[in-house]
Structure 1
């Protein structure tokens, strides 16, 4: 499988840097190849085009992200604690890879409708994880028992996403991970009975 090959990951990591530094529309495949240390033609052994690189990049990074959150929540039963793990993990992932933060918070949103639809499919696994936490919290009484899961998901994701986007727009001048506890506290209060 192509995704298991080192050059695939090299190209994905190079694409994150190139897109973050140049913007999606100004990121030629040749720049990505140069950053990855591969020939231009090598890119096409793994990806159809630049759009495919962007979608694959998001699939790869989001897959790693969801797996990390699931591992973090594995032994935690309490929904409020699970939500805290999710928020902290989200912010930590962005803080750990500032180029990826720019790509996910800014560049993915400027893409065309087809790309946005494909990205929404990838994002679905993350949103299902949020739903699971909310559902657990409602069932256990940690959150409102009559919680509108869909509306609560929009609130949770929207808040996390807006805090992250604001941080990126402000040139990542402060430590976003320091905001996790406050964001968690506000969200849990809003979800509690």
Structure 2
């Protein structure tokens, strides 16, 4: 499997930096190779093309969010607390990697429709986990029984996403992590029983 090859992660990490600095359309494979410290041809041992690199970047980096959220869901705590931890985790992952935040919040949105569809299928696993928290909250009585799970998911993820985009657009000038408790309170007030 290509993910187990030694230079794969090196190239993915380099791609995040190059795409963040140059934009997806200006991020040449040769720049990614140079950043990764590999020959241009080495890239093609791991990836079909630049689009494949971007999808792999998103897949690899999204796994951070997904793995952390899986751990949160397994915790013996309330659905409200799981929601808070999810929001904190989302902001923490992106605030710890400003290159990744620029790629996820800006560059992925400028990609073509086919690319966005592939990215959405990766994102679906994360959103399914958010749904699990919401369903647990409704079933336990912590969240409103009348809540529309799909709409609540869109509002929660959309809010988290918009706050992050605003942070990126303002060149990381405010502390993203400090927004977590404010976002959590606003969202919780909208869905609690």
Shorter chain as denominator, the TM-score bin is over 0.9
Q: Describe the superposition over 1:129-159 as per-residue Cα deviations: whole angstroms up to 9, x where unpaired.
A: 1100100001111100121100000000000
**Contact conserved, 1:76 with 1:82, CA < 8 A, in 2?**
no
Q: TM-score, normalised by structure 2?
A: 0.98
Q: Describe the superposition over 1:3-54 as per-residue Cα deviations: whole angstroms up to 9, x where unpaired.
A: 0122000000000000000000000000000000000000000000000000
Match of 2:127 in 1: 127
CA root-mean-square deviation: 0.8
Tell me by how many angstroms 1:70 deviates. Answer: 1.5
**Contact conserved, 1:134 with 1:143, CA < 8 A, in 2?**
yes
Match of 1:50 in 2: 50
Alignment of 1:1-193 (within 5 A): 1-193=1-193
Alignment gaps of 5+ in structure 2: none
Looking at structure 1, the residues matched to 73 and 63 of structure 2 have their Cα atoms a distance apart, in angstroms, of: 15
Q: How many pairs are equivalent?
A: 193
Q: TM-score, normalised by structure 1?
A: 0.98
Looking at structure 2, the residues matched to 130 and 52 of structure 1 have their Cα atoms a distance apart, in angstroms, of: 27
- SS of equivalent residue, structure 1 residue 20: helix
Tell me by how many angstroms 1:109 deviates. Answer: 0.1
Alignment gaps of 5+ in structure 1: none
Looking at structure 2, the residues matched to 31 and 148 of structure 1 have their Cα atoms a distance apart, in angstroms, of: 46
Looking at structure 2, the residues matched to 107 and 38 of structure 1 have their Cα atoms a distance apart, in angstroms, of: 24
**Contact conserved, 2:73 with 2:133, CA < 8 A, in 1?**
no
Stretches of 4+ aligned residues off by more than 4 angstroms = none
**Contact conserved, 1:73 with 1:85, CA < 8 A, in 2?**
no
Tell me by how many angstroms 1:75 deviates. Answer: 1.7
Looking at structure 2, the residues matched to 126 and 185 of structure 1 have their Cα atoms a distance apart, in angstroms, of: 21
Tell me by how many angstroms 1:192 deviates. Answer: 1.1
Looking at structure 2, the residues matched to 2 and 95 of structure 1 have their Cα atoms a distance apart, in angstroms, of: 28
